[in-house]
Amino acid sequence: MRNKLNIGLFGFGVVGSGLYEVLNQSQLLDARITKIVVKDPSKKRSIPSDNFSFDGTEILDNNEINVVVELINDSSAAYEIVKKALQNGKHVVSANKKLIAEHLSELIELASENSVSFLYEAAVGGSIPIIRNLEEYYNNDSLSSIQGIVNGTTNYILTQSNDGIAYNEALKKAQELGFAEADPTLDVDGFDSKFKLVLLIKHAFGLTIDPKDLFNYGIRNIKPNDVAFAGEKGYRIKLFSRAEKLNDKVVGLVAPHFVSQDHFAYQVNNEFNAVVVEAVFSDKQLFIGKGAGSYPTASAVLSDISALQFDYKYEYKKTRKEDQLKFTEDFFLKVYIGSSFIEAINEIPFYRIDEVYQSENYNYQTGWVKFSEVSKFNLNHRPELSLIVLPEPFKSVKEFNAVRSESRHFVVEY
């Protein structure tokens, strides 16, 4: 039997107003927005002002409302709203990846204690149905990796950079189009991609990771010389959220990657997102769709609301099955480091150098580094350096040991 849903909506920005329209157009749902709470009474909105209230308790303490949809920017305020809603026995749908990634265990527990659902499909990949697929479809298949572009703003900026559009100009356009976070640092420094990766890792591998323990390096430092390097080698630069099993451990990071023409991500442009799931039996599967913007994100929220009609809950089945998995930073990867300053490149400990280029204004070096060492550098705040991951697969310490003697330059014992 379908549940009748009375929705209390927090937020009427890009996604909230999109949801209002999408929900009004959908004939299939027995759901209506009973109340909308917003913060700023002076802001001009697309529907009459008598639709709005400014007092959250009008939703949270309203017994007729059984679903709270939280779509506000401020993640601290959103945390209080979501917590209270769950405590008051209301189902919650949220798109706030920062809030969810930072408080995941607590919120899962609260939802369970109060026998309500807490759904967040729109928090990762916009319109792409990735969370529910990881949760349901792949349950019996053993997942080996998940990687993709899950931030529309940075993909938009990187795509524009291929056409010579400057970083600041492209970011401004992404803000105008409603893709960027209120604080775009979250996008360009890879935080948004990291929060989304925390959720992907939870649903793919059953691991709960504190966002503070996951490395994020964004696109702020990428320079025209790096884009030119990519062009010469036939690559494009994409910001990846990536996690995979390496032997019996899980590794993960957010960093810019070079991708070649035969890679799924090469043609994924502008605000589009794409995620590839690799599993032992099904092999690789690609999900692609708009990762930001009003209607695409609202469509994922709508899908969660629709699932609530049938009492849908995430069961976190992999958390129980594979709780023996551990997260590690102990692996090797092949990177490119570009800089105007040779000394800056020399600070990065390479275990094997494959290529060196030096000139008056631009230098680069490619080779293998140990991730646990590189992750200590505060790379988002090192504007003189750009690190971009090369296409070679990650290697475990054991696998790297087998090839490191090929080094033409030096080997460091560890």
Q: Where in the sequence numbering do the catalytic residues fall?
A: 196
Q: By CB under 6 A, is residue 126 in contact with ligand HSE?
A: yes
DSSP for 230-271, written as a single string:
HHHHTEEEEEEEEEEEETTEEEEEEEEEEEETTSGGGG--TT
Q: How far is the CB of 253 from ligand HSE (least distance, A)?
A: 18
- In the bound complex, which residue of the shown chain has the CB atom lying closest to ligand HSE? 153
Is 8 or 190 the residue whose CB approaches ligand HSE more closely? 190
Q: By CB under 6 A, is residue 264 in contact with ligand HSE?
A: no
Only segment of 80-88, 174-182, 241-249, 255-263 that touches ligand HSE (CB under 6 A): 174-182
**Residue 113: exposure state from Cβ atoms within 10 A (0-12, 13-18, ≥19):** exposed
Q: How far apart are CA 151 and CA 180, in angstroms?
A: 9
Only segment of 111-119, 134-142, 177-185, 310-318 that touches ligand HSE (CB under 6 A): 177-185
**What is the contact mask toward ligand HSE in residues 73 to 112, using x (rule: CB under 6 A)?**
----------------------------------------
**What is the contact mask toward ligand HSE in residues 183 to 202, using x (rule: CB under 6 A)?**
----x----x----------
Give the number of residues in contact with ligand HSE, rule: CB under 6 A: 11
DSSP class of residue 129 equals -
**What is the contact mask toward ligand HSE in residues 278 to 297, using x (rule: CB under 6 A)?**
-------------xx-----
Backbone angles phi, psi at 363, to 5 degrees: -135, 150
Is 177 or 356 the residue whose CB approaches ligand HSE more closely? 177
The amino acid at residue 149 is: I
Q: Which two tokens stand for residue 222?
A: 């990428």
Residues whose CB falls within 8 Å of the CB of residue 76, separated by 6 or more in sequence, listed in order: none
| 240, 254 contact by CB (below 8 A) | yes
Q: How far apart are CA 46 and CA 55, in angstroms?
A: 20
Q: By CB under 6 A, is residue 204 in contact with ligand HSE?
A: no
| 207, 201 contact by CB (below 8 A) | yes
Only segment of 179-187, 217-225, 237-245, 354-362 that touches ligand HSE (CB under 6 A): 179-187
Q: By CB under 6 A, is residue 151 in contact with ligand HSE?
A: yes
Backbone angles phi, psi at 93, to 5 degrees: -120, 130
Is 206 or 291 the residue whose CB approaches ligand HSE more closely? 291
Interaction site with ligand HSE (CB under 6 A): 126, 151-153, 179-181, 187, 192, 291-292
